[in-house]
Structures are given as structure tokens and as C-alpha cells.
Amino acid sequence: MRACRPRRGRLRRRVTGGIRNTARGARTSFATAPDHGFTTIGNHIMYDTESLAATRGPAGGQPEPRRVRNFIDGDYRAGDRWFDKRSPLDNAVIARVAEASRADVDAAVQAARAALSGPWGGLTVAQRVDILYAVADGITRRFDDFLEAEVADTGKPVSLASHIDIPRGAANFKVFADVVKNVPGETFEMATPDGAGALNYAIRRPVGVVGVICPWNLPLLLMTWKVGPALACGNTVVVKPSEETPQTAALLGEVMNAAGVPRGVYNVVHGFGPGSAGEFLTTHPGVNAITFTGETRTGAAIMKAAADGARPVSLEMGGKNAAIVFADCDFDAAVEGTLRSCFANAGQVCLGTERVYVERPLFERFVAALKAGAEQLRPGRPEADTTGIGPLISQEHRDKVLSYYRQAAELGATVVTGGGVPSMPDDLRDGAWVQPTIWTGLGDDSPIARDEIFGPCTLVMPFDSEAEVIGRANANAYGLSTAIWTTNLSRAHRVAASIDVGIAWVNSWFLRDLRTAFGGAKQSGIGREGGVHSLEFYTELRNVCIKL
């Protein structure tokens, strides 16, 4: 896959909570990204059919909040109720979002069901593949529009979103298009009493309407990670993006229409959980399967809802991931990789590291190096090339993270660095900012080591033996991922096989081949996604037996 870069100077208008004017040729974080080979198509984010661009306020004032609507049966629809989307950067209202009613969700599900028996259901695999490639190309052509929407919703650095979020959003459609194009079949010949024999072969059929519940930390990436394989397998979808990040899911509706995706195949309903779109979707009898990424408590509630009707669920939930650093590691690589795993996306990554176990002879040196790296991560506006870390997603989430910062202090943790709120300029003072934080001095039984915090923080603890650290790493309710740092290949194999997780990295972190299985153990999830593994959830396998 070709990596993508927006051209420097193209995002020139000031967006509240988004990207500031950038003079042509000025140094920005765009300069470090590889070229994506496409020009932009202007400044509109056209997911509001009545107001294609952000509505301007009085001359010289801030833009008025955008209107983000539900996308149902190929059209954008308003609602009777609206809610505010606030910028993580400064807490300003940047969008008014239509909250889907029960009737709206029902209309979306009915549209998805109708599409199954309509043109979409009659397409061949090759025809679906062509359409999904067109969707991927549409995301790439609209790169700057998706980038602007993603950054406005999340506040994350432009360099991060332009290198990871938007390119992966496009790649997810192409990868799964290629998967379904090349799925191997299976056949079995069998004997029969009359000697004529019989032939068995398997075919895969779509499960039907898939409810897609998406998180806010990597909105486009994780939404397309589910929508891509669902559509590739011939299903239709109703997407409920997080109320914190509604814009890219809505914008994708335009790309779907332009790519020739039939009406009703892709639908988006906005809202919250209980008593809102999330509950209406997961309890709807017309939904055949539910896929969810988010916190474990919500995933458990979705499992209960899906039990009515025995509908399958795919759950990717929480994590309290551990890095294990042995004294024989490549020190610089281990520090750099651990630093990224702790603080990328302000720690709001399900695969992020919140526990670091360091072999005792290396402990003091490693903590000092990690401290030095964390203190280089400067908070700031997403477009600034000096910005190393963005805000948390919301004031509510900031309050949760800061409650753990206070708990750590009350429990007697040593604050190596951070532990509070950074000093920000006046225009950013009301944003959801916290300091990158490193603690030592607490044990595995503390809530700091036990609970998923989902912020830019980590607890570093020493260990003395391989057996000890395996036991401690496994003594947690979660089991999503681990990163093992050692130059001893035999040890790497032993430890990777002994940790109860869905993915174990050795001398790396966040290195992903999208053809491989992804998912968690224990309370981190149910099921696997990625490559052909996604087919197990998004299709029903049917055996055909023919008497010869």
C-alpha cells in the first residue's frame, strides 16, 4: 500500500478544534509524511446535504458548528434532537450532531435489509471487489477532508492521523477486497453404500445486517476495519460511531455514494448507548450480527443484548498491556518502542502499554531513559511540528484519567515525570490536556497496575526472573497484547508462548500485517478479525452434499 500525504499548505482555513491556516511552504508536520500522489478537492467536508461546508459566523468570527446528520438509505437525514460535539483542544462546540431516534435506527436497519435482496445481493464477488477498491480510492482522493474531520474530532497530531488513521482507513477496504477475491474453497469426496459416491463442498454466505459499534480513539481506522470485511463478504451495515467522533463515519457516506455502493448498504446512526442509538441498534431484531470495539463493560452489555435471538458477536474490548524488557535487549530500540507504546495517541490505544516490567539490572537506566523521552513530548495544536502529544478525547475522559493520577499519589507512587495537567496557552486552556506520566513504586495489586486507564501513563516495575515476570504479566483480567524486548531468540519464543494474550510482539510494537489474526484473550475480547479470520464472523459456512 502506498502511504499518503496531504500537500503542504492545502489545509488553509481555520477550523475550530481542527487545523489552523498554514502558509504555503511553511514547515509543518506534513513535511515528514510520504507523498500520496493525489491532489485535494477543496475545503468542503460534504456530509451535510443542506450545508456542504462549515457554516460561517460573523465576519472575522469563528465558524459556526457543522451539522452532522445520520446517513440512511443513501441520504443524509436530520433528527428531532441534536447534541453537541466539543473539541478536545479547547472544549468549543465544533458540531451539532443529529441523535438518531428509534424510528431512525429502524429505518436504517430496514434499508440495510432491503439492500441485501436488492442490487447489492446480486453482485458477484468480483463486482463487490471493484466497488470496494473505488471506496478506498475515494478516501485517498478525499484525504485532506478525512484528515481535517479526524483531527477536529480527536485533537490528535496531524502527523499521526496522516501516517496511520487515514491511510489505514483506505487500506482496510483493499485488504479485505483482496481476501474475499482469493479465499480457498474446500471439497471432500465420500463413499456411499451404492458405490456411486458423493461430493461435499463449502460455500460462504453473508450473515446479513451487521451492527457496527465503533470507538473514538481511532475512529476511521477501526470503523473501516469492520465495515471493510463486512461489505467484502456481501453484508450490509448500520454503523453507530462514538458520539465523540461522528464526522468521518458521516463523511464516508459521500464516498460510498460516489463509489457506486447501492443505497442501504452503508448506514450511519448517531447517538449514545443506553436509551439511544446504541441500545436501539444492538436490540433490533433485524440485526443479524454485532461487532464492537470499546470498553469491557459495554461489550458485556452488548453480549447480553445479542443473546436474545442467539446472534453472533465479535468483541474487541479493554487491555492492560505489558511490556517485558530483559537486560539483554537492544536498549535504544526497547526505549523507543516502549515510549511509543505508552504515549502514542495520548495513550488512547487499546494496544498501548500501561505496565512495563524491566529486568532489575537495567531498571534505573531504563526508567531514566523513558523519563527523558516522555519529557520531550510537548502538547500543542495538531498542525504544529513541535507537537508530540495531543489532548484526551473529552473533559469526561480527562476527569477519569486524572482520578488515577490522584490515586497513584495517594497510594505513594513515585512520580518519575508528569502526574498532572500541563500549562497551556489561553486558547487551549479549556482543552482535555494531561501530562505524560511515569510512575514507579507500586505493585501489581494496585489499581494503577490492574485497571485500564487509557491515558498517557505507565507504571514501571522491576523483575528478577523470566518465570516471575510471566506470572506477573498474566495476573491480570485482560489479555490483549504484550511487547517482549530481548535479543535471546529462544527466550522470545518461550515468553511469547506463555503470555495469555491475543498478540505478542517481539522487539517491536504496533507492527501489523492485516492478513493476520487480531483479537484478545480473557476480558479483552471474543473472536478474531483480520485476513481470512474475519470471514468466520462475517459469513455463514454452508456445506453442500451432492450425491453422484
pLDDT at 21 over 60: no
Q: Which positions ≥6 away from 241 have C-beta within 8 Å?
A: 214, 216, 219, 223, 248, 249, 250, 268, 270
Query: Residue 297, exposed/middle/buried by CB under 10 A (0-12, 13-18, 19+)?
Result: exposed
The number of residues in the chain equals 548
Please pick, among 316, 354, 359, 383, the residue that the annotation labels catalytic: 316
Give the three-state DSSP class for 463.
strand
Give the Cα separation of 133 and 121 in Å (integer).
18
- When pLDDT is cut at 50, 70 and 90, the band that residue 529 belongs to is very high
Q: What is the mean pLDDT of residues 101-124?
A: 97
Q: In the numeric block, which cell numbers belong to residue 45?
A: 467536508
Q: In the numeric block, which cell numbers belong to residue 233?
A: 463478504
CATH fold, domain 321-512, is Aldehyde Dehydrogenase; Chain A, domain 2 (3.40.309)
Rounded alpha-carbon distances, angstroms, from residue 69 to 51, 294, 475: 11, 23, 45
Question: What per-residue confidence (pLDDT) applies to 191?
Answer: 98
Cβ atoms of 416 and 460 within 8 Å: the answer is yes
Cβ atoms of 73 and 264 within 8 Å: the answer is yes
Q: What is the mean pLDDT of residues 321-346?
A: 99
Residue that wins the pLDDT comparison between 11 and 390? 390
Give the three-state DSSP class for 209.
strand
Q: In the numeric block, which cell numbers belong to residue 427?
A: 486558547
In the chain, the percentage of residues whose pLDDT exceeds 70 is 89
- Compute the radius of gyration of the chain from its Cα atoms: 24
Q: What is the mean pLDDT of residues 344-358?
A: 98
Question: What per-residue confidence (pLDDT) applies to 32?
Answer: 28
**How many Cα atoms within 13 Å fall on the side-chain side of residue 206?**
28
Q: What is the mean pLDDT of residues 135-149?
A: 98
Side chain identity, residue 373: G
pLDDT at 40 over 60: no
DSSP annotation of 34:
P
Give the three-state DSSP class for 505.
strand
Q: What is the mean pLDDT of residues 422-427?
A: 98
pLDDT at 95 over 70: yes
The CATH class for the domain spanning 29-83+94-316 reads alpha beta
Q: Which positions ≥6 away from 533 have C-beta within 8 Å?
A: 517, 518
Helix (H) or strand (E) holding 86: strand 81-86
DSSP annotation of 258:
H
- When pLDDT is cut at 50, 70 and 90, the band that residue 48 belongs to is very low
Question: What per-residue confidence (pLDDT) applies to 355?
Answer: 99
Question: What per-residue confidence (pLDDT) applies to 56?
Answer: 33
The model's pLDDT over 281-313, given as tens digits with 9 standing for 90+, comes to: 999 999 999 999 999 999 999 999 999 889 999
Asked about 316 being catalytic, the answer comes back as yes
Give the Cα separation of 241 and 220 in Å (integer).
9
Question: What per-residue confidence (pLDDT) applies to 49?
Answer: 33
pTM, to two decimals: 0.89
pLDDT at 154 over 70: yes
The model's pLDDT over 378-396, given as tens digits with 9 standing for 90+, comes to: 999 999 999 999 999 999 9
DSSP code per residue over 309-370 = TT--EEEE----EEEEE-TTS-HHHHHHHHHHHHHGGGG--TT-EEEEEEEGGGHHHHHHHH
Beta-sheet pairing, 236-240 with 198-206: unpaired
Q: How many helices (H) and strands (E) does the chain have?
A: 16, 23
Beta-sheet pairing, 353-359 with 457-463: parallel
The model's pLDDT over 218-260, given as tens digits with 9 standing for 90+, comes to: 999 999 999 999 999 999 999 999 999 999 999 999 999 999 9
What is the C-alpha end-to-end distance of the chain, expressed in Å?
46
Question: What per-residue confidence (pLDDT) applies to 184?
Answer: 86
Given this chain, do its domains 29-83+94-316 and 321-512 carry the same CATH topology? Answer: no
Question: What per-residue confidence (pLDDT) applies to 44?
Answer: 31
DSSP code per residue over 132-188 = HHHHHHHHHHTHHHHHHHHHHHH---HHHIIIIIHHHHHHHHHHHHHHHHT----EE
Helix (H) or strand (E) holding 459: strand 457-463
Question: What per-residue confidence (pLDDT) applies to 378?
Answer: 98
Average pLDDT, the chain: 90
* Region class of 275: left (phi > 0), else alpha (psi between -120 and 50), else beta: left
Annotated domain spans of the chain: 29-83+94-316, 321-512
Question: What per-residue confidence (pLDDT) applies to 302?
Answer: 94
Q: What is the mean pLDDT of residues 482-496?
A: 99
In the chain, the percentage of residues whose pLDDT exceeds 90 is 87
Q: What is the mean pLDDT of residues 4-17?
A: 36
pLDDT at 13 over 60: no
User: 200: how many CB neighbours lie within 10 A of its CB?
Assistant: 13
- When pLDDT is cut at 50, 70 and 90, the band that residue 6 belongs to is very low
Q: What is the mean pLDDT of residues 399-419?
A: 99
pLDDT at 90 over 70: yes
**How many Cα atoms within 13 Å fall on the side-chain side of residue 1?**
23
Q: What is the mean pLDDT of residues 458-484?
A: 99
Question: What per-residue confidence (pLDDT) applies to 264?
Answer: 99
- When pLDDT is cut at 50, 70 and 90, the band that residue 62 belongs to is low
The model's pLDDT over 313-327, given as tens digits with 9 standing for 90+, comes to: 999 999 999 999 999
Q: Which positions ≥6 away from 490 have C-beta within 8 Å?
A: none
pLDDT at 39 over 70: no
Lowest-pLDDT range of 48-57, 81-90, 249-258, 361-370:
48-57
